Amino acid sequence: MSVIALFFYLFATVTVASAFMVIAARNPVHSVLFLILAFFNASGLFMLMGAEFLALILIVVYVGAVAVLFLFVVMMLDVDFAELREGFLQYLPIGGIIAAIMAIELILVLGSYSIDAETARVAVQPIPDMAETSNIKALGDLLYTRYIFFFQLAGMVLLVAMIGAIVLTLNHRTDVKRQNISDQVARDPDDAVTLRGVKSGEGI
């Protein structure tokens, strides 16, 4: 067995095991940590296939942003997961029916799926005018020219997700004094300052 095959089986085994633990772990924080582990091993598989750009994007975007965002939301939101699990048996029949329908659809799609030899041959051919460039430069040229609007749309989706997480975790406590700039600017000097004439030797 070659070194590449050994690393492939190692990354694939850890990826499948960590993906299973994402849905099997009882603690949601542990689920997010297993998800990060699955992303790291999937990026290793991309590296073995020569797709270094996808491997780095998987680490930078998904591990560095999305998975950390999930972890941030799970840790900061005070969610009572025991209370959420109370109605599990109530919705189990509906969930089982939906899962069965999705499984049948996947079986039908995968059973009728076939790869055309001509399509596979064209897919592996290099893009014109980009045959001499690197993988990252070729993908960059496509992202910032042909697919620029989809790229910007994906960025907007991530921005909305980040703002939503911040809004959900924002908790204004009533027992903590906070500075309100708008109230300070709109404050009337006559109400803020009171001048009193105090005679010498006498208190207020």
2 backbone φψ class: left, alpha, beta (φ>0; ψ -120 to 50): beta
Instruction: Compute the mean pLDDT over every residue in the chain, rounded to the nearest whole number.
Output: 78
> What is the mean pLDDT of the segment spanning 5-27?
88
- Give the pLDDT of residue 116: 64
- Give the pLDDT of residue 114: 67
Residues whose CB is less than 8 angstroms from the CB of residue 29 and which lie 6 or more positions away in sequence, other chains included: 71, 74, 75
- Give the pLDDT of residue 63: 79
> What is the mean pLDDT of the segment spanning 93-119?
81
Residues whose CB is less than 8 angstroms from the CB of residue 58 and which lie 6 or more positions away in sequence, other chains included: 39, 42, 43, 46
- Give the pLDDT of residue 51: 79
Closest CA to 38 of 6, 70, 75: 70
Q: Is the dihedral of CA 8, 12, 13, 18 positive or negative?
A: positive
Q: For residue 34, how many other CB atoms are within 10 A of its CB?
A: 19
- Give the pLDDT of residue 122: 56
> What is the mean pLDDT of the segment spanning 49-56?
81
- Percent of the chain past pLDDT 90, that is, above it, reads 10
pLDDT greater at residue 62 or residue 107: 107
CA distance 118 to 79: 52
- Give the pLDDT of residue 81: 62
- From 5-9, 19-23, 173-177, the region with the lowest mean pLDDT: 173-177
pLDDT greater at residue 191 or residue 25: 25
* pLDDT of 5 strictly over 70: yes
